[in-house]
Amino acid sequence: MPSLKSWNTLGVECEADVLHEAHQLDDLKQAFQEGGRDLLLLGAGSNVVLPRRYAGHVCALRIRGFECEEVGGASAVVTAMAGESWHAVVRRTLGSGWCGLENLALIPGTVGAAPLQNIGAYGVELADRMKSVLVYDARDETVSELGIEECAFTYRSSRFKEMPDPAIVILGVRLLVSRAALIVDQYPDVRRELTRLGTQGRASARAVAEAVMRVRRRKLPDPRRIGNVGSFFKNPVVSQTKAAELLSCEHLVAHAGVGGCKLSAAQLIDLCGWKGSRRAGVGVWQRQPLVLVNLGGAHGADFLDMAARIRRSVEERFGVTLELEPRIVEPLE
């Protein structure tokens, strides 16, 4: 039985019935024919919590392709296929002088999974640069292009995450990039790095990417060395009334937005005293308590147990429910 331990960045053991690798559309069709509706799609496995045993077929998306088509001199449409590394796409576009993806540098994973949770970092999310998503429907074996409105992107979510359809595969994305840099540098960490780089106030897109990468390398554990899936929790969005109630008795970070007030999950977890905690092979990362790490030998269930304890304590102290960010794969048994 194939082991998926090296196929997920948490580094948890998971045995599946069959593992397919789709390098082209025909491989994907074949995987669906053999695996049926329970086919589990995997990119780089950097946002999944796998069970010990997955009694079904798994298909790793490896369909490659990258194209950058200039539109009228000042902008371009980048078409990247599902199996490309997201960071490689960011590097390639920046390397050719196209701006727009710099804040999303160094996010692990593949292009195909990026729309699922509308990846975002340091003030920019995928939806801000998205033109369309190419999808394959295994029911009638057709490929179509969905416009941005059809993808229903929201904070770390989309229709692909909210209404998962096992027959739909994201085959690629079309992104809009431009020659002129629209610098997004409101995050204090990024601004500090830009100052260190000596470019603050006249930063280029490449400088922003460099600053973002430095911040990420400092704060986040490298999944090649310490198993993790980045943030295990989303930042909670609460009503203005709830935020006002909390802010009247606690010094909390809060950003008012369209759907309510966004709180910092890291701060709530930290205030509950979890930073640096360890249990059953799972640790809460000292430099960023949103991140749970595999200290060695932990299973998916150990991560879920630690996450449940953290959620409970945040709920008890603040009356705020934290949502999990990665996909929790059910065992199918």
Ligand X SMILES: Cc1cc2nc3c(=O)[nH]c(=O)nc-3n(C[C@H](O)[C@H](O)[C@H](O)COP(=O)(O)OP(=O)(O)OC[C@H]3O[C@@H](n4cnc5c(N)ncnc54)[C@H](O)[C@@H]3O)c2cc1C
Q: Which residues are catalytic?
A: 156, 231, 325
**What's the rounded Cα separation, in Å, for the pair 180 and 184?**
13
**What's the rounded Cα separation, in Å, for the pair 112 and 171?**
6
Token output for 159:
């229709």
| 322 DSSP 8-state letter | P
Nearer to ligand X, 71 or 328 (CB): 328
Can you state the percent helix, strand and coil of the chain, rounding each to 5?
30, 30, 40
Nearer to ligand X, 43 or 261 (CB): 43
In the complex, the smallest distance separating the C-beta of residue 8 from ligand X, rounded to whole angstroms, is 7
Output the CA–CA distances (angstroms, integers) from residue 48 to 11, 116, 303, in the order listed. Answer: 10, 12, 11
CB 123 within 8 A of CB 186: yes
Contacts to ligand X by CB under 6 A? 9, 41-48, 61, 82, 107-110, 112-114, 116-117, 119-121, 169-170, 220, 223, 228-230, 327
Nearer to ligand X, 16 or 246 (CB): 16
**What's the rounded Cα separation, in Å, for the pair 147 and 131?**
7
CB 108 within 8 A of CB 46: yes
Among candidates 254, 300, 265, which has minimal Cα distance to 280?
Answer: 300
Nearer to ligand X, 112 or 300 (CB): 112
